[in-house]
Chain A
Amino acid sequence: MTQYVGQAMPRYGGIGQVTGTTKYVDDIVLPGMLYAKCLRSPVHKGIVRKLDLSAAEAVPGVVGTLTAADIPGQNLYGFSGDQPVLNNEHLRYKGEPIAAVVAVDEDTCMEALEKVKLEIEEQEPVFDMLEAIKPGAPIVRPGTTHNLLEFFPGVTTRILKLGDVEQGFAEADYVFEDRFVHNVQDHAPIEPHVSVAYWDAADQLVIHTVSQMPYFHLRYLQPIFNLPLSRIRYVGGVIGGAFGAKNDIHADHIAGLAALKFRKPVKYRWTKREDLSYSTKRGAWVFEYKTGIKKDGRITARHIKQWHDTGAYGALSVYAVEKCGMFAAGAYHIPNILVESQIIFTNKPIASSMRGFGVINGQTCVEVHMNKIAEAIGMDPWELRFINAWRDGDQGVTRYTVQGAGGLEAMKKLAELTGVQLPDHLMAMSSRRR
């Protein structure tokens, strides 16, 4: 084993990648394979008043269509369990799947989609999360009275707390505040979302997936298909990039339902334009930071508020926001921390996971905030960080005890690599002791 440490090893399976023989999901072509395409919501918000697929079904080459009525199990899935597979009622974002057509090829699917008779009563959408929490804002989820996600029944603000921030601010010599806004971001892997599903000889539904978390996804798929888990064979492992985009199901449910209904192999793939416009995103974020600090640079309190725009459905936003909250105060010894988090529904595409699960959103804020504080109190930003950096035994906001801290050592290495001369009293500091 040890002979590999410190060595650059050829990529496992990499010969396939350089010879073009690695089979990605879209490389699978099966005899008699059909193709699916989704009818997507043309509006950001509205109610489906009429959905007539008969003209689409009459197009030569169309094998049939899928609607909510074709789902053997439940028409809900996702980490938050709130996403319809096919939605023919209250549409919540532009691009939301309403129905699907299945045909001999994609050209035919597209021709059929144009023939669908769809009537929608358009409603006023809301896009800005801070507008969405004002009284009188359009309501994203029908049957509710507000746009806030409930972490627990009745709990719309998630609070993480260590010590007492009010007392911490009272002890401070200065208090600084900052506000940060992060925009929506797409993962943009080069491989778009795709799935191939078919029945095998053992009467199992086989799905070739690009999933990044197949065991979670199996759990979402099983209740949709209403098949025992033993009859779903979920085949994954080869992915053309994901970056968190493939932590959500985008294609497997549709391909699976079509294979289930038509008993033929079915490929469902998104175009890159669909992917960029309608797939899950890293959601928008607003942060407010407030920090109390002593003249000598010791931080006494930090109060953080984060508002996260999850778009039309919850997906993995809870996960991202909680993880963000856990680390948003930074890798610093702060005796008094309060983190308040809210997740807000809007009529935007669904926000979910993306590289770092929200942690980097908080980290970019906290480090910019630290630089601004250093400038304001006239202290070198290295020094401010060295003074406050985690030492072994410090506590994080959720009361975890820091062990094996390495921030100081990493910063020393960084200084060395970037040619920064740190003063002796900083070089003498260690993560092992305060």
Chain B
Amino acid sequence: MKQQVLTFILNGEEVAVLVTPTETLLDVLRERLQITGPKRGCDDGECGACTVLLDGEPVRSCLTLALTVEGRTVTTVEGLMVKGELDRLQKAFYERGAFQCGFCTPGMLMVAKSLLAKNPNPSRDEIRSYMAGNLCRCGSYEEIIEAIQAVAAGEY
């Protein structure tokens, strides 16, 4: 298939990459740019493992056609660290064991990041409802909620 140049801001840096029209953002991140933080769980929009921030808002990278992000800003879990320092959410997830297999974690972190950006002090119900689109089959939901609450409470 004919390839086209796609240019966008990925984790703070402009990237240009050749893509085909049917590739998704997830395909391009994982297979062309080796940004493998976002995971392919279902390719169907259901699981949330592929969630990235597009202009700061969470979207499913598996449902986002790559060419539509031309000129826009994409942040993945790889872009959470600042100057080699873990983001507070990364620290809290790590220290509080907010995962077992970790496959859902990159998606969870991005949604949590967006939640705290909008609502620095969410209630338990607000966390649950905001995170509802991200599945954790290992069942780390309690620890995920607690980690987000701990960050909101300034413990990290």
Contacts and interface: CB of A to CB of B under 8 A. Distances in A.
Asked if A and B touch directly (CB within 8 angstroms), the answer is: yes
Interface stretch (B53-61, B91-99, B119-127): B91-99
B155 interface: no
A243 B138 CA distance: 9
B101 A8 contact: no
Given A189-B103, A191-B103, A272-B47, A15 B36 contact: no
A179 B105 CA distance: 41
A97 interface: no
Nearest to B135: A190
B43 A272 contact: yes
Contacts of A188: 137
A27 B36 CA distance: 6
A240 B101 contact: yes
A271 B80 CA distance: 28
Contacts of A189: 101, 103, 137
Contacts of B42: 190, 192, 272
A114 interface: no
Nearest to B44: A272
Nearest to B136: A190
A17 B96 contact: no
A376 interface: no
A154 interface: no
A239 B137 CA distance: 12
Contacts of A134: none
Contacts of B46: 272
A238 to B, nearest CB: 9
A17 B135 contact: no
B148 interface: no
A242 to B, nearest CB: 8
A24 interface: yes
B111 interface: no
Interface in A5-46: 8, 10-11, 14-24, 26-27, 29
Pick the most buried of B42, B47, B101, B106: most chain A CB atoms within 10 A of its CB.
B101
B26 to A, nearest CB: 11
A168 to B, nearest CB: 40
Contacts of A82: none
Contact of B94 (A14, A190, A243): A14
Given A11-B99, A188-B137, A241-B137, A18 B86 contact: yes
Interface string B79-120: 011000010001101111101111111100100000000000
A191 B39 contact: yes
A24 B103 contact: yes
Nearest to A18: B90
B49 A190 contact: yes
Nearest to B98: A18
Contact of A26 (B37, B40, B86, B135): B40
Contacts of B22: 107
A29 B40 contact: no
Given A18-B93, A272-B47, A192 B41 contact: yes
Contact of A190 (B1, B37, B39, B78): B39
Contact of B81 (A14, A19, A271): A19
A273 interface: yes
A240 B44 contact: no
14 contacts: A11-B102, A17-B105, A18-B90, A20-B106, A24-B36, A29-B31, A190-B42, A190-B103, A190-B104, A191-B39, A240-B41, A241-B100, A241-B138, A272-B46
Interface pairs A-B: 8 shortest CB-CB: A20-B37, A17-B102, A240-B103, A27-B36, A20-B77, A272-B42, A18-B90, A190-B41
